[in-house]
Structure 1
C-alpha cells in the first residue's frame, strides 16, 4: 500500500525499513524491478478512503502509527510503474464508493493501454464509516447492500469496456481519412438505481478491454460476488482444511453461475521470515516481533468499538457477539484463527500480529509449506511484507530459486497481457457476465 504502515504495524520503525519513504517514486520503481526480476505475476496495491475506528472518533493512534494514514492514490503510481516494467502485472484497489464508473472506466482503459494490457482491479465496497462520510453519505450502507451497489457498478463498466466499441471500430486509415467508424461505436444508455450513463466510452478498447478482476471478501455475499465476477480472489484463512473447503465451495458457486470454475484463482495472504537455518529464522522472527504495535493491530481490525455509538468495547466481549456490518469475513477469520474457542476483543491484536499467515523457516521449509497450500487448491500467494524493500528482495533472492526448482514458480514470463499470463487469453472468457455485453449495442444507430 502507498502508505507508511499497511499490515505489519510498527515495523516501519525497524532500522532497515524504508516504507516511511512511500512518497518516493524510486522506492516503488526499484521494488517493481525487483519483483519482475523474481518473475512475480503482479504487484498489488491495497487502498482505503477513510480512517480506521469510529467515523467521528479520535485519530491519534492512526496518526502516531502512520496506519494507512496518510496514504496516496495507487492508480497514479501505477502509471509510473508501467514505464519501468515489461511483464509485471499492475493491480490496484478501487472502491465503488470513490469514483463514478464512467470516469473509472476511462482511467483503467488508459492504464491498460499504457501498460500493454497488464492492469488488474481489486473491487471493494469500503468498510470504513469515515470513508462513506468523506463522500457525502451519512454512513456506511448495510453490508449486503454494498455488494448490490457493486453489481450495478460492474454492469456499467462492463457495458463501457465490452459493449461500447466493436473490435473493428478503430480504423486508423489515413488513406480514407477515417480514424474511427462511428457505426461501431455505441452509447450504452444505462439507467439503474444509482447510475445513469449515456456513453459511448471515451477510450477505444484496450488490450484486455476489462482489467483482470480481483476481489477479497469471503463473507457469504462476498463469495457470491466473487463467484459471478472475480478472476482472482484474495483469501485469508486459518488452516489447510478450511482453505480447501472455502475454495471448493466457491468453485461450486462459480460453476453454478455458468462459468468455468477454474476461471477463478485463489491467492492466499502469507508473510515470510526467511533464514539460512531454522534457528536463524526464529531469531529474525523474534526481532521482528519486538517492533509490533498492539495498538496498531487492534485499530486495524476495525472491530474494537461499537459501530453505532463509537464507544470502545469491553475487552472481555466475545468476538461471537460482535455484529458490526463491516469486515464480516475478517471477523470470521479471526475467530477461526484463535486457539480459544471463544476469543475476546482483547485478543484481536495478538491474533492479527502473531498468527496472520506467518511462515518461518529456511527456503526449503517455506517451499514445503507452499506445496501444501498448492495441494489444498491455492493458486498463488499474496506475499505480505514485513519491511520494504528487504522482505521482497530476500524472497526473490532466497526463496524464489527453490520454488522454481520445484515447479512452484515460473522461470520466465509468457508474452502478452496479464490475463494471458494468468489464464491463457487476453480478454474475458465466454461465460463471464462482462463478456455478455460484447456486441449488445450493435443494433443501435447512434452516430451512424
Structure 2
C-alpha cells in the first residue's frame, strides 16, 4: 500500500520568511501579512487543497550577526518586522473545519504555566487542531531582548527543555481528570474539585505548585513538532516529538536522520509509526516543465543575495559579511543551529566559501527548489517518501498565493490519482487525522504524568 503524503504550508507572520527577496515580486502579497483577511483567505485556500495544516515559524530576536548589525535584515525584511503567529490561529480556524495549525514557540523565554494555558485555549478554540513546534532558540538578540547577556549553551538549552516538557505534561495531562467537568445545572456543580489536582513541580529551573487553569481540551497536549537534527536534538525528538521537521541536501542524509530518530524512539518504548517526518521543500511548478522553468527564472530576478546571507549568518552564527567571496570560511564557536553548519559542510565540503554558499541559494535560501512539471514534482515527492522515509513536506512559500495555487491545481490531483494523497479529510482532532487518536498514546513520555500518577 502506498504511503499517504502530508502537506503543511510553511510560513511566518512576516514579509520575508525563507526565500529572501521574493516579497518584491509584483504578484506577491506577503506584505499584506498585517491584514487578517489575508490570513483567512489563505486558510480557506489551504483547506480547499486538503493541506494537513499551516506550520508557523517564529523568532523572538532580530538577525544581527551579518555585519554585526540588524541593518541588512531590516533593509531586506528578513523575518523582521514579525508579528505573533498565535493571534492569527483563531481567525483562521473560524473559517475552516479541518486545517491544522502548528505554531513555533520558544520555551526558553516562555513561562510554562502561562504557555500551557495558551495552548489549551487554542486547542479549545480550534476544536483540537493545534500543534506546537518546540524550539529552544538560536539568536543572542532574543536573549538580550529579555534581559540576558546571551543564550544558554546548546546542550544546556535541551536540559532546560526536558524539564519544561515534564512540567507542561503535568499541567496538560495530570491536573484535570477526564471526568472532572460535570456542567450539572441542577446541582450547580461545574467541576468536581476532587478530580482537579494541584501539580507539584520542584526542579532545577522551575518551582510550580498550581492547578492548570484550563479544563481538558480535545487533545490535552498539542501535537508535538520538533526540528532538531543535532545529536542532542535527535534524542529530544525521539523522546517527545510526533512530527519531526528536517532539511537536507540528499536523500541518503535525510534517510540517515529519519532512521536514527525512529530507532531511538523504538529504544525508548515508542513505535516507529509514532513519528511522522516532514521534509522542508520549495516547489516551483506549472502545467509543463517549460512553464515551471520560465517561472523559476522570473522569480530569480527578485532574489536578494544579501538578505539570504543575513538569514544564513544568523542560523549558523557566522558573520559572512567580513569574508570575501572565495575566502575559506572558518567555523566560529556559537550557540546557533549546530545542524545547519553540519549540513553546509556536507554540501560544500570542509573548505567552504561564501561563493559556494551563494551558489546554493538560487531562490534566496539554502533550500534547493524543486522545479518541474506537476508530473515531475509528483515523481520527486513520491521518491522522497520511498527512498528517505519521510511522510510529508513543509512547503515554503515563494510568491504567494500563486505558489500554493499551483500546487493545489496541478500537483495534488496527480498525487490523488496515484493514491498517495487524501481525497477528503478524516474526522477528529489534528492528532487523530495524523495518527488515528485524539490523545497521546500510552507509549509517549507524557503518559507517566497523567492524572493517576501526577507528582
TM-score above 0.5, yes or no: yes
The reply to whether residue 405 of structure 1 matches residue 414 of structure 2 is no
CA gap of 1:9–1:306, structure 2 versus 1, over 3 A, is closer
Greater alpha carbon shift after TM alignment, 288-297 vs 351-360: 351-360
The corresponding residue for 1:48 is 59
Greater alpha carbon shift after TM alignment, 96-105 vs 54-63: 54-63
The reply to whether residue 135 of structure 1 matches residue 135 of structure 2 is no
Secondary structure in 2 matching 1:387? coil
**Alpha-carbon distance, 1:357 to partner:** 3.6
**Alpha-carbon distance, 1:346 to partner:** 4.2
The reply to whether residue 60 of structure 1 matches residue 71 of structure 2 is yes
- Structure with bigger RCO (C-alpha 8 Å, 6+ apart): 2
**Alpha-carbon distance, 1:332 to partner:** 1.5
| TM-score computed with the length of structure 1 as normaliser | 0.94
Match of 1:82 among 93, 99, 102: 93
The reply to whether residue 326 of structure 1 matches residue 336 of structure 2 is yes
How does 1:179-218 map onto structure 2 within 5 Å? 179-218=190-229
Instruction: Supply the distance in 2 between the matched residues of 1:408 and 1:311 (Cα, whole angstroms).
Output: 42
The reply to whether residue 314 of structure 1 matches residue 326 of structure 2 is no
The corresponding residue for 1:420 is 432
The corresponding residue for 2:4 is none
The corresponding residue for 2:400 is 388
**Alpha-carbon distance, 1:408 to partner:** 2.0
Secondary structure in 1 matching 2:219? coil
The corresponding residue for 2:360 is 351
| TM-score computed with the length of structure 2 as normaliser | 0.93
Unaligned runs of 5+ in 2: 1-11
Instruction: Supply the distance in 2 between the matched residues of 1:86 and 1:20 (Cα, whole angstroms).
Output: 27
CA gap of 1:56–1:241, structure 2 versus 1, over 3 A, is closer
The corresponding residue for 2:304 is 293
Instruction: Supply the distance in 2 between the matched residues of 1:280 and 1:267 (Cα, whole angstroms).
Output: 27
Residues 55 and 133, structure 1, Cα contact 8 Å, conserved in 2: no
**Alpha-carbon distance, 1:306 to partner:** 6.7
Q: What is the RMSD of the two structures over their aligned residues, measured on CA atoms?
A: 1.9
Secondary structure in 2 matching 1:273? strand
CA gap of 1:55–1:364, structure 2 versus 1, over 3 A, is closer
The corresponding residue for 1:118 is 129
The corresponding residue for 1:157 is 168
Residues 313 and 320, structure 2, Cα contact 8 Å, conserved in 1: no
**Alpha-carbon distance, 1:57 to partner:** 3.5
Residues 64 and 71, structure 2, Cα contact 8 Å, conserved in 1: no
Secondary structure in 1 matching 2:108? coil
The corresponding residue for 1:257 is 268
Greater alpha carbon shift after TM alignment, 83-92 vs 354-363: 354-363
Match of 1:30 among 41, 45, 56: 41
Residues 313 and 345, structure 1, Cα contact 8 Å, conserved in 2: no
Deviation track 1:139-197 (CA, whole Å, cap 9, x = no partner) reads: 01111111111111111110000000111111111122211001111111111111111
**Alpha-carbon distance, 1:322 to partner:** 3.9
Instruction: Supply the distance in 2 between the matched residues of 1:101 and 1:356 (Cα, whole angstroms).
Output: 33
Instruction: Supply the distance in 2 between the matched residues of 1:44 and 1:144 (Cα, whole angstroms).
Output: 25
Greater alpha carbon shift after TM alignment, 402-411 vs 34-43: 402-411
Residues 171 and 179, structure 1, Cα contact 8 Å, conserved in 2: yes
